[in-house]
Amino acid sequence: MARKDRCPGIYIAGTSQHSGKTLVSLGLVAALRDRGLKVSYMKPVGQRTVEVNGAHVDEDVILINTVYGLETEPADCNPVTIPSGYTTEFVRERKSRQPLIDRILASYDRISEDADLVIVEGTGHAGVGSIIGMGNAQVAAILGAGAMVVTGGGLGKPADEFALNRAMFAQEGCNIIGMVANKFLPKKMDELKPLLATWLEQFDDRLLGVIPYEPILSELTMRQIASETGAEIIHGEQYLDRRISDCIIGAQYPHRLLQSLRPGVLAIIPGDRDDLILAAISSEELSSETAGTIGVCITGGIMPHHSVLRLIERSQAPVIAIREGTYDVASEISDVVGKILPSDTEKVEKGQWLVKRAMDLDAVLEAL
């Protein structure tokens, strides 16, 4: 049970994976700090972890703590992680969730000791984590935090998603602060935003914000692609923060490839196509349109001729290599999600600006 004297928290819950929970958390911390509030951050249950000071913590914790210089222990910000095989072991051995609850509450009390408010980021939709008794609605109830539900943009789909998730939070006795609709097509906002607000009012719920779709937030960097795919960096470590918005497969004549190259393109080329690799490198170096804007991924476990590698080393193109075949590599890269990284200042600032501009902060604070 949550103590009545516990620091208030806002539980950021999504209706699906990649709904925008981290974006909303990032921007909400900034908006609340602008109001003079001391804000802490927590992600009670994490899945995608990195190692920090000997502890495995969710990567979103690293983002928020780094951007805002928060001094809370990363392990307290993410007290429970779910490694591969954990849920199977939990069910097979009929483990109790109480140790997990105790760990979360102890961490929450430590990070909120001097805070006015805690932003608590969930994982997936309301039911994610239920297999171990740590569903988002369950964790929000444990902490006594009000739930802010992040949906997609539009009218029918976000309303359906919100209704389903609201039912799960209500079942756990959670206070619903309201809805934030993310990735809303700008051309639809004027028409659909008032309709969505009207629908919510029927159930005494609030539309707290509508965040427009911003393409830059979905774009990848060469660094993300290399990290997510385990690629070998052939050249251009200093250029890995170059932004990628599209991929093309090199399987044509060189002049056709040159016609396809444009700013923000990653050219995926088999390692035995020296002609196409040279064409891409030449475009990077000489074209006024694509200079300093493209990347190259070599596939198939084949390295270009050493004379070509020497030219690559003299270029300003980030070049990576992945052992799998071209089709498998293209498919793998298409599955990579464009996350906000601490080093990506442009994305961080754009995300903060979008959320602060969209959020009705007075309504948020009033609903707590």
Dihedral angle sign, alpha carbons of residues 334, 335, 338, 342: negative
Residues 318-343: what's their mean pLDDT? 91
The chain-wide mean pLDDT, for the chain, equals 92
Dihedral angle sign, alpha carbons of residues 41, 44, 50, 55: positive
Structure tokens at 334: 């298409």
CB-side exposure of 300: number of CA atoms within 13 Å?
15
Q: Are 186 and 215 in contact (CB under 8 A)?
A: no
292 pLDDT tier (thresholds 50, 70, 90)? confident
**Segment 38-92, tens digit of pLDDT:** 999 999 999 888 887 777 899 999 999 999 999 899 999 999 998 889 999 999 9
Examine the pLDDT at 33 and tell me if it is beyond 70: yes
Greatest CA separation for the chain: 70
Minimal CA–CA distance to 107: which of 123, 97, 120, 96? 120
How many helices (H) and strands (E) the chain has is answered by 15, 17
Examine the pLDDT at 3 and tell me if it is beyond 60: no
Q: Are 20 and 32 in contact (CB under 8 A)?
A: no
The radius of gyration of the chain's CA atoms, rounded to the nearest angstrom, is 23
Domains of the chain in sequence order:
9-218+341-367 (3.40.50.300), 220-334 (3.40.1390.20)
User: pTM, whole model, 2 decimals?
Assistant: 0.87
Q: Are 61 and 48 in contact (CB under 8 A)?
A: no
